[in-house]
Chains A and B, each alone.
Chain A
Amino acid sequence: MTIYSFWIFDRHCECIYHKDFKRPQRVLRPPTLASTTGDTKENAQQQQKRVVSSGGPPKGTGPLTVDDEAKLVFGVVFSLRNMVTKLAGDRESFFAFKTSKYKLHFFETQTNLRFVMVTDVRVEGIRPILEQIYAGLYVEYVVKNPLSPPEHPGGEGVNNELFSLGLDRFLTPLEIFE
């Protein structure tokens, strides 16, 4: 069993944290001519725009930046959640959906923080894991961190050392992480 990726979206629908696991397919886009000629900031931005060349969900036809992928993932969970609410009432939400290649798990707090984990299809019932990431890691290391701002435009303050390390330490020993 494997975790492919993990995402957090805030109430403003912005991706504030993202981490890839076991994604050898994801490669850095080779530097373009423009980015090799000096402007380091631009270069860095180019470097950050990693692309998916093949495999991994969602399977695109062309290169997909992390930003694009975040938008896609969010679009899917947001529509699905809204549909479920419309069909089944306010207090209903969805837990997961799966395709032949992957499974997407979803947990939303009352504050509209959305936690998404994409795994292989065999992974079952990891909602408690997402809840623990929220209560044990996100609240303790992001929310209570005086140096993190109250909200996280552009992910500011989420990707800190304690949270990242905590997440690694929490997920790595799990059965679903192999």
Chain B
Amino acid sequence: MAVRTPRQVGEDVWKTRIEKVNAELVTLTYGSVVAQLCKDFRNDYVQVNEQLESMGYNIGIRLIEDFLARTNSERCRSFKDTAEMISKVGFKIFLNITPAILNWSQDNKQFSLIFDENPLADFVELPDDGKAVNELWYSNILCGVLRGALEMVQLQVEAEFVSDVLRGDDATEMKVTLVRVLEDEMPVGDE
């Protein structure tokens, strides 16, 4: 059988193996989460960003299992392959989008995901308190999701948004950087 591209895998899994739900349910529910956090942290958006990232991390730890169980994908051979899998399969089968991969660094350890569409932020406007547009990364949960999911497959990464159309930027861009490949953990007391 011919090797299928990540795009084909993503499309195929999305069409045949994914139970769907109304996007507005997810959009509005995510909105309620961000709104609740803004309340809980009294509009300290730096803390809200951190909390969103950490919730995303927990989601990533779970989500990767669902991803692997549904796609039966092989281990990626390079970080480039990983980027393809994230965009064409990962984002496709959960959020039905395929962010573009751009801006590879020379050492191939950093790339950007450009989001033309972002279901989490559909019909969202940041609070106009003069602060949120500079401080809040509304979709920061996605950074955590990538960090958590990739850590589970032994890739330690850092992910952060560098621009967001919600803030008036031209594009929504997330930078993903490979920190290191993790070793398997050893049993306690074993050397």
Contacts and interface: CB of A to CB of B under 8 A. Distances in A.
Contacts of B62: 143-144, 150
Interface residues of A, number: 22
Contact of A135 (B58, B69, B185): B69
Interface string A148-178: 0011000000000000000000000000000
B3 interface: no
Name the prevailing secondary structure of the B interface residues.
Answer: helix
Interface string B134-147: 00000000000000
Interface in A114-166: 134-135, 138-139, 143-144, 150-151
Interface residues of B, number: 21
Name the prevailing secondary structure of the A interface residues.
Answer: loop
A11 B64 CA distance: 13
A45 interface: no
A90 B58 CA distance: 28
A116 B190 CA distance: 20
A91 B77 CA distance: 10
A158 to B, nearest CB: 12
A109 B68 contact: yes
Contact of A11 (B69, B152, B188): B152
Given A110-B75, A110-B153, A150-B58, A11 B185 contact: yes
B75 A138 contact: no
Contacts of A11: 152, 184-185
Contacts of A135: 69-70
Contact of B152 (A74, A75, A111, A144): A111
A81 to B, nearest CB: 9
A83 interface: no
A18 B50 CA distance: 36
Contact of B184 (A71, A112, A150, A151): A112
Contacts of A71: 187
Given A91-B75, A111-B153, A150-B58, A138 B185 contact: no
Given A13-B185, A110-B68, A139-B69, 17 more contacts: A11-B152, A11-B185, A13-B188, A71-B187, A74-B187, A75-B187, A90-B75, A91-B75, A110-B75, A110-B153, A111-B152, A112-B154, A112-B184, A143-B62, A144-B62, A150-B58, A150-B59
Interface of B: 58-59, 61-62, 64-66, 68-70, 75, 148, 152-154, 184-188, 190
